[in-house]
Amino acid sequence: MYQPSRPGPKAPLSGLTGAALGQNARMHDIGAIERATLAGIPPQRLEQWGGWLLAFDDGTVGRCHSAVPLRHVAPVPGCLDAIERRYGAAGLRTVLRVPERPAFDAFRRQLETTGYRRSKPTLVQTGRTSELAGSGMGTIEVQLADAPGAGWEQVFLGEGFDPVDGASRLGILRRARGSVFAGVQDHGRTVAVGCASLSEGWCGIHGMRTLPTHRGRGLAGAVLAALARAAAARGIERCFLQVEEHNAVARSLYAARRLATAWAYAYWKKA
């Protein structure tokens, strides 16, 4: 059963504009990050309703077919029914990305009593591109492009990854506008990739993958640094990414580069 969040100090949106960031500014940044997320992985259709973004898509990426609030305040009465009607009209299952904040405790209890179940807890982490840009291994050459090439795409479809999920994610990433795609090659074969969406004043990191045979060599760090440098060259100072809570390896990589958790969320859908 869902347990309400325990009151405590709110985690700052680290890497934004300093510790003195006010509550209104934090709310603004939450909305900007959620919009920037869906600019980097654009769903087939996107609507805004009642302070929520409703993403409609038939692919495998959860963020592309779920509803997410733009502010961390308690949802208005009737919110769930209205969202369910919109997804039902689109012929899609209702999925929600609900922040793990006390403001949503009553809403989560409502979800649980109506048959929804929590899954896939995820962290939203933020930092500064200037710090991330200097974190890579300078001896690793990273190639940048404005579209994913055949080699880049093969990492998503290759060994160690679900090819159906990979193909869906590739289709979504291709729809983005203004993204930067980074890749590392070994003897002419692309072995590590990532991309950055530059939107809403943020650099959003997506699509980080390294072939199993090439992990532990610092390639992902080099990709992150190259993407951050590309964003900084365009005047973007702040970056964010999402990482599943149980992914200890990725979290360690990001922590070493001074990315810190701004908030957490989980997916809610009916069993």
Give the per-residue pLDDT at 161.
Answer: 87
Specify the CATH class of 128-264 in words: alpha beta
- Helix pair angle (248-256, 219-233), 10° resolution: 50
Domain layout of the chain by residue ranges = 23-123+265-270, 128-264
| Residue pLDDT, tens place only, 180-201 | 999 999 999 999 999 999 999 9
**Interval 59-77 mean pLDDT:** 97
Q: Which residues in 237-265 are b (16+ Cβ under 10 Å) and which e?
A: ebbbbbbeeeeeebbebbeebebebbbbb
| Residue pLDDT, tens place only, 221-247 | 999 999 999 999 999 999 999 999 999
Q: Coil, helix or strand for 68?
A: strand
